Structure 1
Amino acid sequence: MSIQNDVLSFPILIGDIGGTNARFAILVDSYAEPKAFPVVQTADYATIDEAIQAAVLDRTSLQPRSAVLAVAGPVDGDEIDLTNCDWVVRPRKLISELGLSDIVILNDFEAQALAVVALGEEHLERIGSGIAEEAGSRVVLGPGTGLGVAGLVNSRRIWIPVPGEGGHVDLGPRSPRDFQVFPHLEPIEGRISAEQLLCGRGLVNIYRAVAKADDKEPAFSTPSEITAAGLEGADPIAVESLDIFVTCLGRLAGDLALIFMSRGGVYLTGGIAQKIVPALKNGKFRAAFEDKAPHRALLSAMPVFVITHPTAALTGIAAYARTPARFGVETAGRRWRGA
């Protein structure tokens, strides 16, 4: 059954649950702005049930009747494992323990895709040239704890999010310098996926590999340290690592733009993208994005934006909860109802 033909009952609990942080809000009705709650560190709670009770329900007199939760991982079955977090989402248990009557579970980057058509220009930072076609397909990707990817296509006047696990595609060397650095990258089960480079730990992976390639000792060990040193120009290894990061992100973004024919734009989201806007604007990202012969002209016409809204996924979920008929979200196997 599709939710667009069977709306949820207000108040609606909405949540964006990533590998490190979880963000919750309650949507009282279709007109009100979501009532937001403090960001939850997933490591602070043993289960999502405890987090919702302590961080949301214990802080308000509002009792949600329904919930739409976006989780970082594939939604498959009654027990949903998060990719980079120990939480397991059990919708039937949430219904019984939290007094809910209806739950829909989405992929977290499906929610990010929904946000793309819900955000205004004031929440978008343009990277390079290109003009977005109003009904053109779009791609969202975001390096964070992991690497999320989703598409958004317009068909029969509704927006259809396309969730997936695009962050786990292969990513290989291309330039002569890549062939010096890539042998020193830490693989997973013998391969280098995009997520092994394009996330927080991926930046550390790149930094260590650059240091090893040049037989130097790394000075930093965290993504924030490397990012800061790279942006400030304070450490040559960090500077090059950040350049490699944005170049590889540009290559992948260009690949995805071709796959989805993203004339509506490519959207970078998450905390890392927001922090490295100066690096994304130095030309290397856009050059890699457009370097897709024989389709360079096609890519140069596609715009790229960084989403700067701090809770973009919640904005997307709220838009969907208010007017589900605007979105073609398939809920078969992803919707649970109470007795």
Structure 2
Amino acid sequence: MSTDTDRSGRLVADIGGTNTRIALIAATGNRLQYVGRYQNREFVGLDAVIARWLDEHPDARPRQACLAVAAPPDGDTATMSNCSWSFSGRELAARFAWDRVRLINDFQANAYALPWLQPEDCHEIQPGTSAYPRLAVLGPGTGLGGAVLDTSHRHHLAVACEPGHMDLAPGGAEELELWRVLMREHGRIYTELLLSGPGLQRLHRALGLLQGLTAEPLRSEDITARAVAGTDALCRATLHQFCALLGAASADFVLASGAFGGLYLAGGILPTIPAFLQTSDFQRRFADHGPMQTHLERMPVRLVTHANLGLLGAGHAPLA
């Protein structure tokens, strides 16, 4: 039997390059219901995923929707670069009888979730306090996404960014040698090229070549697992390099956006390696920015461990 919550709730979706998550969130409140996760490759389009979710949860009858997409939405439409899908909010609303719908960037949704996080939803990487009203969220997964949240407005304003396409510079002589290896295959070294799941594999292969080794072809999750377990020296060196570069890129993102109120790390990779990240060169490279070092050292840095950050943010994002 349907409830008033079901009828007045909002469908929320977090549509990544690999997976799509869908849930229902009540018109007021913070609880996600009917959370479903789907592999994109098993569906011809987003409408098929939504139809499957509705079939699985017939008691859920949302009247509005907020769709967080791993792409820069162009008004009513979204075309994904890490997946072959393209869709229109208006067409989806007409098919599923929604009164209102909004498409936002997936990390824009992550930003809208930040004020709703509880202490248990985060792992502290760097302690700190700040009165700055602007927060940043950044995370490697299929790609590298980011957004900022300005809390100085009466209604918080999240702005999607594209940090994955910032240029990435070597931080010393050793990284310069790594860059030379990478540039034989890639003309331009940018953040998402290395700071992502596929990027971790590129780093693994390039570090192997630098050491005169032929790296075993591994999935990104296997590289992280071996690195954390300490069973593979090349995998461990790869993950250390990944964390160091992430620290440098995170600081560049904070400095460019003025988000000194706090940095929240998200994405699909980092929640699996909190202890490794904590003891890596991430913090040193994050702070190592000349006259801005003091500002960066005293701002809080937290790793988000909430399982459905994008869904939570899509539930609280304004629809207008």
Question: If the TM-score is normalised by the length of the shorter chain, which range does it land in?
Answer: over 0.9
Output aligned runs, 1:144-183, within 5 Å: 144-183=141-180
Partner residue in 2 for 1:70: 68
| TM-fit CA distance, 1:188 | 8.4
Amino acid at match of 2:158: P
Q: How many angstroms apart in 1 are the aligned matches of 2:246 and 2:206?
A: 17
Q: How many angstroms apart in 2 are the aligned matches of 1:178 and 1:247?
A: 11
Partner residue in 2 for 1:192: 189
Q: How many angstroms apart in 1 are the aligned matches of 2:173 and 2:263?
A: 28
Q: How many angstroms apart in 2 are the aligned matches of 1:77 and 1:122?
A: 35
Output aligned runs, 1:126-137, within 5 Å: 126-133=124-131, 136-137=133-134
Partner residue in 2 for 1:12: 10
Partner residue in 2 for 1:229: 226
- The reply on whether 1:305 has 2:298 as its aligned counterpart is no
In the superposition, relative to structure 1, how do residues 60 and 188 fare at CA in structure 2: closer, same or farther (>3 Å)?
A: farther
- The reply on whether 1:275 has 2:266 as its aligned counterpart is no
In the superposition, relative to structure 1, how do residues 100 and 156 fare at CA in structure 2: closer, same or farther (>3 Å)?
A: closer
Q: 2:27 aligns with which of 22, 29, 36?
A: 29
Output aligned runs, 1:246-261, within 5 Å: 246-261=243-258
Cα contact 1:67–1:102 (8 A) shared by 2: yes
Residues 129-182 of structure 1: per-residue CA shift (max 9 Å, x gap):
32243x521110010011001111122333211112121111021211111112
Q: How many angstroms apart in 1 are the aligned matches of 2:214 and 2:184?
A: 20
Q: How many angstroms apart in 2 are the aligned matches of 1:79 and 1:122?
A: 36
Q: How many angstroms apart in 1 are the aligned matches of 2:152 and 2:26?
A: 30
| TM-fit CA distance, 1:124 | 0.8
TM-score where L is the length of structure 2: 0.92
Partner residue in 2 for 1:284: 281
Cα contact 2:10–2:63 (8 A) shared by 1: yes
Residues 25-64 of structure 1: per-residue CA shift (max 9 Å, x gap):
1224313723133211111111100110012344223322
> CA RMSD for the aligned pairs?
1.9
Amino acid at match of 1:252: A
| TM-fit CA distance, 1:219 | 2.3
Q: 1:41 aligns with which of 36, 39, 43?
A: 39
Cα contact 1:11–1:28 (8 A) shared by 2: yes
| TM-fit CA distance, 1:287 | 0.1
| TM-fit CA distance, 1:207 | 0.4
Amino acid at match of 2:123: E
Question: Tell me, what secondary structure is at the counterpart of 2:174?
Answer: helix
TM-score where L is the length of structure 1: 0.87
Amino acid at match of 2:261: G
Question: Tell me, what secondary structure is at the counterpart of 2:120?
Answer: helix
In the superposition, relative to structure 1, how do residues 90 and 28 fare at CA in structure 2: closer, same or farther (>3 Å)?
A: same
| TM-fit CA distance, 1:264 | 1.9
| TM-fit CA distance, 1:319 | 2.5
Q: How many angstroms apart in 1 are the aligned matches of 2:56 and 2:183?
A: 43
Q: How many angstroms apart in 2 are the aligned matches of 1:62 and 1:204?
A: 40
Partner residue in 1 for 2:235: 238
| TM-fit CA distance, 1:308 | 0.3
Q: How many angstroms apart in 2 are the aligned matches of 1:189 and 1:76?
A: 29
Partner residue in 2 for 1:93: 91
Cα contact 2:244–2:280 (8 A) shared by 1: no
Cα contact 2:76–2:103 (8 A) shared by 1: no
| TM-fit CA distance, 1:259 | 2.1
Q: Structure 2, unaligned stretches of length 5 or more?
A: 1-6
Q: Structure 1, unaligned stretches of length 5 or more?
A: 1-8, 332-339
- The reply on whether 1:210 has 2:207 as its aligned counterpart is yes
Question: Tell me, what secondary structure is at the counterpart of 1:210?
Answer: helix
Cα contact 1:187–1:196 (8 A) shared by 2: no
- Report percent identity of matched pairs: 33
| TM-fit CA distance, 1:203 | 0.3
Q: How many angstroms apart in 2 are the aligned matches of 1:91 and 1:29?
A: 20
Cα contact 2:126–2:299 (8 A) shared by 1: no
